[in-house]
Each structure stands twice: as C-alpha cells, then as structure tokens.
Amino acid sequence: MSDAGRKDWSDKLKESAVPDSSKSTQTKVKETFTDTGDKLARGTQPDSQKSTGQEISDKFGRSKDREVHGSSGGSVLDKAKNAIGLGDKH
C-alpha cells in the first residue's frame, strides 16, 4: 500500500522486473512520468509523515539516486530553498 498520490512499491518492483527492451514506448513514457511525480512527492513530504513502507522505499530511492547521479543529498524542497537563498544559513 502506498501513501496518497504515491507510486506503490509493488508497482515499482513489477516495473523493474520487466526489461525496458520488452516494454512499449507508451509504457516507458508512462513509467517515466509516474516515476518523476513520485520522486517529486518523495522530496516534498517529510519522512515523519509517511507510512513505514513508503519511508523505507524513499530512503532506498534517495540512496540509489545519490549513487547513480552523485548527489549531495537533501530533499527537493531543501534544494529549492537553497537555490533561492531561503535555506539554512550555517
């Protein structure tokens, strides 16, 4: 079960089990769209307001993103605040 507006972890698992070469263009576009929406939601909702399963899934996703893309961490909201000068000043 996922939190409202979030992609269920079982859907993510099913999607990753099927190779991209076996997916239609429409399916790939849909997955990209829903993954992006889920990542945005992941970054804007504090972990303290998530179900345990969603919190674990999000922590794993952030870890994977940092490994693949070399990020410094932090939520999307924190990065946006820092970009416009409203972030932490320390």
**Beta carbons of 42 and 90 less than 8 angstroms apart:** no
Where residue 73 falls among pLDDT bands split at 50, 70, 90? Answer: low
pLDDT tens-digit series, residues 10-32: 888 899 899 999 999 999 999 98
Q: Where are the domains of the chain?
A: 9-83
Can you give the pLDDT at residue 2?
Answer: 56
Distance in angstroms between the alpha carbons of the first and the last residue of the chain: 38
Q: pTM above the 0.85 mark?
A: no
Phi-psi region of 45 (alpha: psi -120 to 50; beta: other; left: phi over 0): beta
